[in-house]
Amino acid sequence: MLTALYRAFHALSTTPLRRIVALSLALAVLTFALLWLAVAGVLYNTAFFEWRPLNWLVDLMGGLAVLGLSWLLFPAVVTLIMSFFLERIAAAVEALDYPGYDPPRRQPISETLGRCCV
């Protein structure tokens, strides 16, 4: 098991995998930045109460809630975005660990869906 962990960390040092991890992190940060801007716009332009200090408190609590949810959901969102690049990750790991083999056969989406739904 430690050998597999070592190989995984070694694979992360290769350029294709570093690029995928950086792209996934950047897309996740962009997603959360857009979420923060949307929530800030809604909270700033909406008056929930007549009393201004109470509206300010709602804005503050809404901002803190978005920050807390971002902290909790960030790993899941990075993993979700990285899952879109699994084909590239598998190709990079196979090229690193099995350099003498031919590249894998590309599977059409109908074949992939047929196997998961049966």
Q: pLDDT per residue over 16-34, tens digit each?
A: 889 988 988 898 889 888 8
Residue 90, pLDDT score: 84
Residues contacting residue 36 through CB under 8 Å, at least 6 positions apart:
66, 70
Contact 47, 55 (CB under 8 A): yes
Local structure of 48: helix, strand or coil: coil
pLDDT greater than 80 at residue 112: no
Residue 30, pLDDT score: 92
pLDDT in tens, 48-90: 888 888 888 988 888 888 888 888 988 888 888 888 888 888 8
Domain count of the chain?
1
Residue 117, pLDDT score: 61
pLDDT band at 102 (very low <50, low <70, confident <90, very high): confident
Residue 92, pLDDT score: 86
Element (H, E) at 8: helix 2-12
pLDDT greater than 80 at residue 113: no
pTM over 0.75: no
